[in-house]
Chains A and B, each alone.
Chain A
Amino acid sequence: MSTVNPVSNPAAVLPESQSAEGGETEQRTPLQRLLHWANSGVTSVIVVFIMLIWLVPTFGLFVSSFRPAQDIKATGWWTGLLPPWHFTIANYQSVINAQGLGQALLNSLIIALPGTLLPVAVAAFAAFAFSWMHFPGRDWLFLAIVALLVVPIQTTLIPNLSLFTNLNITGSYLAIWIAHTAYGLPFAIYLLRNFFGALPSDLIESARIDGASNWRIFTGILLPLSVPSLASLVIFQFMWVWNDLLVALIYLGGGEKAPLPLAIADLVNSFGSNYEVLTAAAFISMALPLVVFFSLQRYFVRGMLAGAVKG
C-alpha cells in the first residue's frame, strides 16, 4: 500500500486507489478494526443524543396531554411516567367540547384546504407558461415573481387589509383564501418552474408536433411526471397555512372563524388557569400536519431535491 503513488498517473488513480483500499481492509489489524468500530460507534452515539434532544420536548408535551390538570401543575411530566399511572383523556374532551376548539379545528380545515389547493393550481399553470411557452419578457416576469419570494409579509398587511375592507370581505374566508394564495405563489412557482423546466424538451415538443393542445400536454404529461414535486409543494403549503398565525390574526381577527393556531394563542396568553387544556390543544393542532408529513414524506424529500439541489 505504501508503494502506491496516487499523483504519478492521474488516469490510473481510480483503479489503484480501489485496489489499495481493498488491500487495506484485508490487512487491517485488530487495533484498526477496533478504532473503526469505536469511530462509527461515537457517530451513532452523537446522532442518538441529538435525536433525543430533538424528541424529548415533543414527548414531554405528549405525556402531559394525558395527565390530570392538578398533576401537570404540581410535578414534571417525567414523574408521570412512573407508576402509579394517572393517565386520562379528559384534557382532550374538555378542549373539544368546552373551549370551542372543535369549531377552530373545523375553521382550520375550511381555511387550509382551499388555501393549499388554490395557490398550487394557480402556480402550476404559471410554471407551465414560464417553462414551456415563448413570450417576450417572460424571464423578467419570472425574475420579478421570484424576487417577491423575499418580500416580508408584514409589508403587505396594511394595503391588502384596506383593499379587502373596500371589497367588504375582511373577516371572511374568501379574504384569507386569497391572502394565502398570494403569499404561497412565489415559492410555489419557483419550485414548480424548476421541476417543469427540467423535463426533457423532446417529450413536450413531440407532443406539440402530434397536435396535442396545451391543456392535453399539461394534464397528460406535465402533471403525472411532476407528482413528487407537487406532493412536496402541497405538504409545504398545507403546513404553512395550517400553522399560520399572523395572516389569520390580521385578515380574520378573533371570533368564531378563528383557526386553531389563533385559538391556541389565546389559550397561551390567558395561561395559568388552563395549562392542561393547552397541552391537548397543541397536540390536536400538530396531529394532522404530522399525519400528512409521514404519509407523504417520501415524495417530500425527493421533491425538495428537484427544487433546491439541481444545477
Chain B
Amino acid sequence: MATVAQQRTLPLGSSKADLQRRTSWTFWFWAGPAIVVAAIFLFYPVLNTIWSSFFNFDTTQFVGVKNYQKIFTNSSLLEVLRNNLLWLVLATAGTVFLGLVVAVLVDRVKFESLAKSAIFIPMAISFVGASVIWKFVYSYAPAGKPQVGLLNAIITSFGAQPQAWLITTGINNFALIAVYIWMWTGFCMVILSAALKGIPAEILEAARVDGASEIAIFFRIIVPMISPTLAVVTTTMIINVLKIFDIVYVMTGGFYKTDVVAVEYYKQLFTNFDNGIASGLAVLLLVVIVPIMYFNIKRFRQQEAQR
C-alpha cells in the first residue's frame, strides 16, 4: 500500500533515490522541531539524572550506589516510599474503580450530561484551588467550639469527637488521597463512559434476555469489552499518581508523615542541596514506570498491527 502510494506520487523523471532524499528532508522539516525539543528537554535530562544519581551531593565525586543505599535504609526516606506506594495503590484503584462505576451508573439515568459535568468540574480546578476547597472541608477546631470545617461539623453533629484530618497520622494520608480521587474520577469517568457507548446495545440486550444478571453483564461483557480503554486510563492514573506533588505540597507540605517522592525530591534539591539523593529518588520513579512503559509499547504495537 505504502509503496503503491510512493510510486503514484513519483513525478516523471525523478529517481527513487531523489524521492527518498526529498521525503527525508520534508520529514525532518515537519517533525524536526518536536524531536529536537523532546531530545534536549526530556531525553537528555533523563540520561543526566541517571548519571547524577551515582554521584555525591554536588555531582563532583562518584559514590556508586550509595545514594540508593541511603534511600532504602534511611527511615524517613523509606517512609516517603511507603507513602508513595499507598498513593499508587489507593489513588489509582480509587479513581479507576469509581470512574468505572459512575460511568456505568450515569449511562442509565436521564440527566446523564448534567451528572457528568458535575463530576468532571474538579478536573478544571487547579491542585491549588482544590487544596483550598478541601481545607474548608477538613478544617479543625477543638471540641466544644463551633466547627468551620464541613466534615467535622457533620461528625460532631452525630456526637463524635472532631478530628484534625490533615495532622493526625494514620488519617491524613487517606484525607489527601480522597482529594486526588475527587479530582481525577471525572477524567476516568469521561473516557470510560465514551468506551461504554461503543458496546453494541444488541449484545447487552441478548445477555439480559438470556437471563444474565446485571453483575454478570458488568464483569463478563462490559469489563472485557472496554479493557483496552481501562488499560489506557489505569496507565494514565499510575503515571499521574507516581508524580503526585501539588496536593501534598500545598496541604501539608509533606509534614506529619505525609511526604511523597516528588515533594521529598523538591526538598532534597532546594532545601538540602543534595543532587545525588534527589536524582536517586527521581530514578526510582523511572524504574517503577519501566514495566508500565513496556506493557504500553506492547499494547501499542498490537494496535498498529491490527490497523
| Stretch of B20-28, B65-73, B216-224 with 4 or more beta carbons under 8 angstroms from chain A | B20-28
Contacting residues, chain B, for A178 (C-beta < 8 A): 37, 41
A-side contacts of B133, CB under 8 Å: 57-58, 60-61, 282
Interface residues of A in 233-291 (CB under 8 A from B): 239, 242-243, 245-246, 260-261, 264-265, 268-269, 271, 278-279, 281-283, 285-286, 289-290
B182 touches A57 (CB 8 A): yes
A265 with B250: CB separation less than 8 A: yes
Query: Does B76 have its Cβ within 8 Å of any Cβ on chain A?
Result: no
- Distance from A203 Cβ to chain B, minimum over Cβ atoms (Å): 12
Give A150-174 as 1s and 0s: 1 = Cβ < 8 Å from B's Cβ atoms.
1111111111100100000000000
Q: Residue on A with the closest CB to B107? A: A43
Which A residues touch B242, using CB under 8 A?
A: 152
Looking at the assembled complex, report how far the CB atom of B8 sits from the nearest CB atom of chain A, in whole angstroms: 6
B-chain residues with CB within 8 Å of residue A181 when the two chains form the complex: 37
Stretch binding the partner chain, chosen from A26-34, A86-94, A128-136: A128-136
Asked whether, in the complex, the Cβ of B128 is within 8 Å of the Cβ of A290, the reply is no
A214 to B9, CA, bound (A): 12
> A99 interface residue, CB < 8 Å from B?
no
Least distance between B26 CB and chain A CB atoms (Å):
6
| A160 to B190 CA separation, bound complex (whole angstroms) | 34
Minimum CB–CB distance for A144 against chain B, Å: 8
Chain B, residues 266-307, CB within 8 Å of chain A (1/0): the string is: 100100000100110111011001001100110010011011
Asked whether B31 is an interface residue with its Cβ less than 8 Å from the other chain, the reply is: yes
Q: Are A186 and B38 in contact (CB under 8 A)?
A: yes
Which of A76, A243, A290 contacts B121, CB < 8 Å? Answer: A290
CB contacts (< 8 Å) of B243 on chain A: these are: 152-154
Contact assessment for B33 and A126 in the assembled complex, using a CB-CB cutoff below 8 Å = yes
Q: With an 8 A cutoff between CB atoms, is B249 at the interface? A: yes
Q: CA A286 – CA B239 in complex, angstroms? A: 24
Q: Which of B86-94, B141-149, B167-175 touches A? A: B141-149
Contact B27 A304 (CB under 8 A): no
Contact assessment for B125 and A58 in the assembled complex, using a CB-CB cutoff below 8 Å:
yes
Cα distance A249–B67 when bound, in Å? 25
* Contact status B194-A301, CB under 8 Å: yes
In the bound complex, residues from chain B placing their C-beta under 8 Å from that of A209 are 8-9
Any B CB within 8 A of the CB of A106:
no
CA distance A20 to B206 in the complex (A): 10
CB contact between A278 and one of B102, B132, B149, B265 (< 8 Å): that residue: B132
Residue of B nearest to A135 (CB): B27
Q: Is A98 an interface residue (CB 8 A)?
A: no
A150 near B292 (CB under 8 angstroms)? yes
Can you name the residue of chain A whose Cβ is closest to the Cβ of B198? Answer: A309
> Which among A54, A182, A283 is the interface contact of B37 at CB below 8 angstroms?
A182
Q: Is B109 an interface residue (CB 8 A)?
A: yes
- Chain A nearest CB: distance from B132 CB in Å? 4
Which residue from chain A places its CB closest to the CB of B186 in the assembled complex? Answer: A54
Are the CB atoms of B23 and A160 closer together than 8 Å?
no
CA distance A152 to B279 in the complex (A): 12
Say yes or no: A264 contacts B194, CB within 8 Å: no
Cβ contact within 8 Å between B2 and A282 = no
- Residue among A51, A179, A290 with the highest chain B CB neighbour number at 10 A: A51
Contacts of A268 in B (CB 8 A): 128, 131-132, 135, 250
Residues of chain A contacted by B202 (CB below 8 angstroms): 14
Inter-subunit contact A126/B136 (CB<8 Å): no
Hey, what's the 0/1 contact readout for A196-228 against B, CB within 8 Å counting as 1? 010001000100110000100000000000000
Q: A158–B246 contact, CB under 8 A?
A: no
| B215 on the A face (CB < 8 A) | no
Bound-state Cα–Cα, A163 to B114, Å: 47
Q: Whose C-beta in chain B lies nearest to the C-beta of A283?
A: B129
**In the complex, A243→B129 CA distance in Å?**
9
Residue pair A156, B42 in contact (C-beta under 8 Å): yes
A111 in the interface (beta carbon within 8 A): no
Asked if B34 and A122 make an inter-chain contact with CB atoms under 8 angstroms apart, the answer reads yes
Write the residues of chain B forming the contact surface with A, with a CB cutoff of 8 angstroms. 1-2, 5-6, 8-9, 23-24, 26-27, 30-31, 33-35, 37-38, 40-46, 48-49, 52, 102, 105-106, 108-111, 114-115, 117-129, 131-137, 146-150, 153, 182, 185-186, 190-191, 194-195, 198, 202, 205-206, 208-210, 228-229, 232-233, 235, 239, 242-243, 245-246, 249-250, 253, 261-262, 265-266, 269, 275, 278-279, 281-283, 285-286, 289, 292-293, 296-297, 300, 303-304, 306-307
Chain A residues in contact with chain B, CB under 8 A? 6, 13-14, 17-18, 20-21, 40, 43-44, 46-48, 50-51, 54-58, 60-61, 64, 72-78, 122-123, 125-126, 128-130, 133-136, 138-139, 141, 143-160, 163, 178-179, 181-183, 185-186, 189, 197, 201, 205, 208-209, 214, 239, 242-243, 245-246, 260-261, 264-265, 268-269, 271, 278-279, 281-283, 285-286, 289-290, 292-294, 297, 301, 304-305, 308-309, 311
List 17 other contacts, CB 8 Å, given A50-B115, A75-B148. Answer: A50-B102, A51-B119, A57-B137, A58-B121, A61-B133, A76-B147, A76-B148, A76-B153, A134-B27, A135-B23, A150-B293, A151-B46, A156-B45, A158-B45, A163-B41, A243-B127, A289-B126
18 A-B residue pairings within 8 Å (CB atoms):
A6-B210, A17-B209, A48-B115, A54-B182, A57-B134, A58-B133, A60-B136, A76-B150, A78-B153, A122-B37, A134-B27, A144-B38, A146-B296, A152-B242, A186-B38, A278-B132, A286-B124, A294-B117
